[in-house]
Amino acid sequence: MKKVFKEFAKSTLRKLGLLKWIRKVLYSRSKRSFLAAFEGVSHYEYKIRDRIAKFSVEDPYSASFVGYYLNSKVYEPEAVELLMQQLSPNDVFVDVGANIGYFTVVVGVCLPDTKIVAFEMGHENFRILERNIKLNGLTTVEMFEAAVADCSGTLFHQDSAVGSAVLKIMEENRDIDPDVVKVESVSLDDFFASKAKNPTFVKIDVEGAEMKVLQGMKKLLKSSSLKLLIEIHPRDLVGFSSSREEVLEYLKGFSFTIQSVPSNDRKNELVFAWK
């Protein structure tokens, strides 16, 4: 009964256009302690590999991310170390699902000669990403507010009021749900078709849409020099009629060697793929 009432309340608030606003207020209240910790401070200076990376702490999502993940420690050290080892000067690094730009900023600060292309479809996330790129004075980064998918066009997704990375692509109720928003989509094959240089390393963190990204880069996957770092979300893949096994078999079909990357910071599986 409690669950039924909760779903009814959510449905009613969504129809009235109030659900996202209420979620934002509740989220802000729950993160007051993080905001208080950074009161009067616009950004946090994060030391990594003897470099200083800066991250905005002006909103609840940024403050909680920095306070929880970055405070006096390296976030995802295994993934960071892998990127530092595998990327070379003048490589092209593509950050698919950049969120607020953690990996984009780290690569940009530590490897300033690397060309970076960052994609993020969440509007709130993208605004924070822009701030973080500007804070660090990164001039080799191209940013796109777009979903990377299996084809170029338009997608509909559940909007987030708080900058959350969990942005589900919606296929139903897109015309009647006020929380569903439209976003440009692009396949990596289409995007790089007109570019002078193809990517050398692609990081993918897309909350279950892994196969959509991979199916949109079939030409790029044939490259003998491409490397991939993919977060596999087994539960979320089900919502896209996919699975961990499908992702791995798809990569093997393009002759990739696959290795699991141990990580204490992630609840999902991180894999490194190369030829």
Highest mean pLDDT among 27-41, 58-72, 137-151: 137-151
Reference 125, options 157, 149, 152; nearest CA is: 157
* In the predicted structure, residue 232 carries a pLDDT above the cut 70: yes
Q: Using CB atoms within 10 A of its CB, is residue 97 exposed (0-12), middle (13-18) or buried (19+)?
A: buried
pLDDT band with cut points at 50, 70 and 90 for residue 3: low
Measured CA to CA, the distance from residue 219 to residue 272 in angstroms comes to: 19
Cα(187)–Cα(141) distance, integer angstroms? 19
pLDDT at residue number 207: 87
Among the listed ranges 103-107, 167-171, 180-184, 194-198, which one has the minimum average pLDDT value? 167-171
In this predicted structure, the answer to whether residue 222 has a pLDDT above a threshold of 70 is yes
Q: pLDDT above 90 covers what percent of the chain?
A: 65
Q: Do residues 203 and 95 make contact, with C-beta atoms less than 8 angstroms apart?
A: yes
Average pLDDT over residues 52-72: 92
Strand partners, 169: 157
Rounded Cα distance, 28 and 242, in Å? 34
Q: Is the pLDDT of residue 195 over 70?
A: yes
3-state secondary structure of 184: strand
From the list 73, 141, 139, the residue with the least C-alpha distance to 101 is 141
Q: Which tokens go with 99?
A: 């969120």
Report strand pairing: 201-204 vs 257-260: unpaired
For the chain, domains (ranges, CATH) are: 75-274 (3.40.50.150)
Tell me, what's the pLDDT at 126?
A: 93
Please tell me the predicted confidence (pLDDT) of residue 200. 98
pLDDT score recorded for residue 202: 98
pLDDT at 12: 73
Residue 181 has pLDDT above 70, yes or no: yes
Residue 240 pLDDT: 87
Of 26-35, 114-123, 169-178, 186-195, least confident by mean pLDDT is: 169-178
Reported confidence tier of residue 164, pLDDT bands at 50, 70, 90: very low
Task: Round the average pLDDT of the chain to a whole number and report it.
Answer: 87
What distance in Å separates the CA atoms of residue 232 and residue 207, rounded to the nearest whole number?
A: 8
- Res 165: pLDDT: 39
Q: Specify the pLDDT at position 274.
A: 98
Alpha helices in the chain (DSSP H): 2-15, 19-30, 32-37, 60-65, 77-86, 102-110, 123-135, 188-193, 210-215, 218-221, 234-238, 244-252
Report the b/e string of 179-198 with b at 16+ CB within 10 A. Answer: bbbebebbbbbebbeeeeeb
- Residue for token pair 């950004």: 43
* 221 — pLDDT class (breaks 50, 70, 90): very high
Strand order in the sheet with 201-204: 141-144, 115-119, 92-96, 201-204, 227-232, 269-274, 257-260
pLDDT digits (tens, 9 = 90+) for 94-119: 999 999 999 999 999 999 999 999 99
CA dihedral 91, 94, 99, 102 (to 10 degrees): -20
pLDDT recorded at residue 106: 98
